[in-house]
Amino acid sequence: MTSLIQILVLAGFLAAGAVLCRLKLSPPAAVVDRLIKYILWALLFVMGFRIGNSPDLSSRLGEIGLLGAAAAVLTVAGTLGAVLAGYSLIGAFRQGGRGIPAKAVRRRVRLGLTDFRTPLFLLGVVAAGFAVGIFIAPLEGVNLNTVTEWTLDFLLFFIGMQFAQSGVSFREAFMRPEMIMVPLATAFGSLAGGLLLVPLFGLGAGKALALAGGFGWYTLSGVLITNLGDPVLGSAAFMANMLRESIALVSIPFLAATSRPYLAIGVGGATSMDVTLPLIEQCAGPESVPVSFVSGAILSLLVPILVPLFYGLAF
């Protein structure tokens, strides 16, 4: 299956879920959310299993961890630079940058283990799959690619349904310049930072962009790349985007307290619509919520399109 067909199939399942919701034929939002969690757990377990079940892959864990850590740092750095440039660009057209908060309300926010509970749990799911894969003989005659491909299609079907149920209006995203500046700057900065992986690790540009194109959505980006036939890069994508979320949770209180509070939204990437949204609201104030949610929604919709598109590029 070519990359273009894969993109069309993934987009088709996303659209089908959204259409079913519009026709009021979808299950309740709570049921959809639970199904998405269960499917994600299954896919992450299989991803870990494939690494543990293959001696060639398990011997490359150090390489995977180093690549993932470098990708996380570079994509965050690229995002911060691009969002700062976006502020300057809008400020050039608006005297004093009017319309973008000049300063966030400084609030004390304490992070605890509970803030990292979800990524730690999902990392545990991958580790459990890895452990099972080590102690089971290599599977023969089982096509895990086909199983995960169909499972991923159903996952995107429910994700499309979930987006439609959220009621986010993308028309509003184009009414205020910061609404579109933040996600565009985040995407551009993440991808620009990812390109630095090319000289550092000898990756092809397409693979480096695919690795950076997860925008913090580690549960999906890792599975997408693994399903494209590269479990090493998929595992690195999982680690990179999980580390990005952790960096976001730690840095958001500090970034939101600067004169450029939307940096806190950019560093959250795709998670700014869910996982990091409460922290962004606490630190940057309620006026940041619409921008944060729309930015995360736009980036999340781009992930299943951009990751396979970039991975398929032959350069």
Q: Read off the pLDDT band of 195 (50, 70, 90).
A: very high
Q: Give yes or no for residue 127 having a pLDDT over 50.
A: yes
Q: Which residues contact 146 (CB under 8 A, 6 or more apart)?
A: none
d(CA 27, CA 34): 11
Establish how many alpha carbons lie within 13 A of residue 41's alpha carbon, considering only the half-sphere containing its beta carbon: 12
| SS3 of 3-45 | HHHHHHHHHHHHHHHHHHHHCCCCCCHHHHHHHHHHHHHHHHH
Q: What is the mean pLDDT of residues 108-135?
A: 73
Structure tokens at 29: 């939002």
User: Over the stretch 81-98, which tens digit does the pLDDT of each residue have?
Assistant: 999 998 888 766 665 444
User: Over the stretch 213-259, which tens digit does the pLDDT of each residue have?
Assistant: 999 887 788 888 888 888 889 889 988 988 888 888 888 888 888 88
Model-level pTM? 0.73
